[in-house]
Chains A and B, each alone.
Chain A
Amino acid sequence: GENVEQHPSTLSVQEGDSAVIKCTYSDSASNYFPWYKQELGKRPQLIIDIRSNVGEKKDQRIAVTLNKTAKHFSLHITETQPEDSAVYFCAASGWDGGSQGNLIFGKGTKLSVKP
């Protein structure tokens, strides 16, 4: 089955710097890659996603890149702010329009943005 590895497990940056979180997946059939942000005691929140027919997607300060050949994808946050501090999870899914659709998550990256 699918396995998702996420690095680093913790990341500390100064406010205004960029942060990059990387994930690799094992199943070449996976075709959907979302990123979730989870603040302490709160629900995971979908912040951006990418499908396998796209190499890069950007939404304001957040971007995601996908390399299907190498089976890895990354989250890039620019101009970080203290409110970006949270645990970020990557995930992969082999959605085929039928019965599949469950997400396989990485173990998370705790991002701390220091003012």
Chain B
Amino acid sequence: DTGVSQDPRHKITKRGQNVTFRCDPISEHNRLYWYRQTLGQGPEFLTYFQNEAQLEKSRLLSDRFSAERPKGSFSTLEIQRTEQGDSAMYLCASSSQGAPYEQYFGPGTRLTVT
């Protein structure tokens, strides 16, 4: 499968724990985006990387959230001290230099905070 991949697909954690998700974009894509989707809503933008540079962050991204893309390939999203309100599907998308508009999504990581 040469599409965007995410790991894990599901994560159940207790409130207060830290979690980390991984996204592997399509190999030639230099742009990578993180979104959050709750039930019955459209995806909400969290943050965006061009190569290894984090160029934009939503105000939704509180200081408990941090994202990295150290070598301009895969990215990680970490949530510290999780809260029940963090329960959501976390989606990653990527786009290429040649077609920067077109974002292709991964299958998502479903986070449940108990």
Residues on A facing B (Cβ under 8 Å): 4, 6, 32, 34, 36, 42-46, 49, 51, 89, 91, 93, 95, 97, 99-108
Contact = CB atoms under 8 A, between A and B. Distances in A.
B87 interface: no
A100 B56 contact: yes
Given A43-B107, A102-B56, A107 B101 contact: no
Interface string B22-37: 0000000001010100
Chain B interface size, under 10 / 10 to 19 / 20 to 34 / 35 or more: 20 to 34
A34 B100 CA distance: 12
B91 interface: yes
A105 B44 contact: yes
A95 B100 contact: yes
Contacts of A100: 56
A40 to B, nearest CB: 11
A100 B57 CA distance: 11
B48 interface: yes
B53 to A, nearest CB: 9
Contacts of A51: 101
B43 to A, nearest CB: 5
B103 interface: yes
